[in-house]
Amino acid sequence: MKQIFWKFFPFWIFLIFFKFGGGLHYSLISPLGEKFLPLWLVGILMGGSSLVQLLLDVPAGHLLDRYGYLRFLKITTFLFLVAALCISYGLTINTYFLSIFFSIFGWLFYGSGVNAYILSHAPKESAGKFISLRDVAGSIGMMLGSAALPFVLLFAPHYSYMGYVIFAFLFVSFIALFFSPKDRVSVHAETKLPTQHHYIRRHFIHTTIQAMRRLNPASSMLIMLDLAGSIFYGVIWFVVPLVIAHQADAKLLGLGLGIFDFAVVALGFLLGSLADKANKRTLVFFGLLIFSISGMLLGLNFGWLFLLFGFLATTGDEMAGLSLWSWLHSLDREHASDGVIAGVIGFFQDLGWAIGPVFAGIAYGLVGPSMTIIIGAIPILIIWAVYQIKMREHHSHSGLSFALIPQKPHRARHKT
């Protein structure tokens, strides 16, 4: 495994710097957009961009399969470089729209291209570890980009410098691709993970509906949690960059945007061990409660307490998500639907990232940043209430060792 890790070291560098530059670009959309447009329209642009990516996801997957994963990763990174150059040329309404347009296609082939490339190369016995390395590298890049956001905003009104900074990070990722191992085989040649269809987005509607019905209520609860969680994080990534841009004493929030991924990395092993021993029904109860309450409290303080509540919110999210995935896994005794359900989860995650910014753009101008975040966390509290009702109808939420459960589909707390 160690030898393979170093063989793909250039690719991990690509992931880190792509997420560094791409995440920084996404964070700047709302504070730059308010220079020209009402915030409700900026929110629609951000949400609409995610919706376009969602609609084009399957065609993009077919293009990747036909023309090569690494080739299209180079193309998608190049398009993101063009998006950065648009800003470096000078911030106008035209360059702003052009930058968003090219970034849509910069993100479009990234997720499925990275996953297909990794799975096509990974040995079957270590495919899960490769996916974990992907998550860690991406999280490192997003944490670095979040920490850099307050300093990049200091360049205003010299907006061209922002474009140069983003271009520099993405250029490093672009060069790293040329040193990465070339495509070997199609990802469809062999199934290496039970959730492989989630990573390459291949599932059929009738199969999905059948699986959803058979695995209820665990499947519906997990999907509702991922939808509400993605809406919440979409709100966070719209609101917090605006707060950083407006408040001189809010520079600490750059770290706050990275705290969500840090919590996952720091507590992943501990939460897995806890879920192994504790009652999963109790973990879901307290996980959803902690997630919803901490999410609301995030809106009340943009200082050090934001870091604490952000850490707690993600901790609760992971507690509930891991336990619901365990419950789902125990219901699916043949494990024939893991990939199907994971694909639906990915769909609703993307849908949440489309809804969140649209809502935030409308609410921000009406009720301000604090109330926007608080309202954005309310759907999670509603899901906690729905869970209580479901549990009165179903009392078979039995324990199951996490050591026997395939890797849970990762929900990014940032743009993917």
pLDDT in tens, 139-171: 888 888 888 888 888 766 677 888 899 999 999
DSSP assignment of 19-60: HHHHHHHHHHHHHHHTTTS-HHHHHHHHHHHHHHHHHTHHHH
pLDDT value at position 400? 42
pLDDT value at position 223? 85
CA 87 vs CA 21, 28, 162: distances in Å: 13, 11, 7
Helices (H) and strands (E) in the chain, counts: 16, 0
Alpha helices in 299-337 (DSSP H): 304-331
Averaged confidence pLDDT in the chain: 79
Report the alpha-carbon distance of residue 20 to residue 254 in Å, rounded: 13
pLDDT value at position 399? 44
pLDDT value at position 98? 94
Which positions of the chain have pLDDT values less than 70? 1-5, 122-132, 155-157, 184-216, 248-251, 265, 268-278, 329-343, 393-416
Report the alpha-carbon distance of residue 313 to residue 29 in Å, rounded: 24
Each residue's pLDDT tens digit, 307-341: 899 999 988 988 888 788 777 766 665 555 555 66
Q: Does residue 221 sit in helix, strand or coil?
A: helix
pLDDT value at position 360? 95
pLDDT value at position 63? 79
Report the alpha-carbon distance of residue 158 to residue 331 in Å, rounded: 56
Name the pTM for this structure: 0.83
| Cβ neighbours of residue 344 closer than 8 Å, sequence gap 6 or more | 203, 208, 212, 219, 223
pLDDT value at position 397? 45
| Cβ neighbours of residue 152 closer than 8 Å, sequence gap 6 or more | 24, 28, 161, 162, 165
| Cβ neighbours of residue 282 closer than 8 Å, sequence gap 6 or more | none
CB 279 within 8 A of CB 399: yes
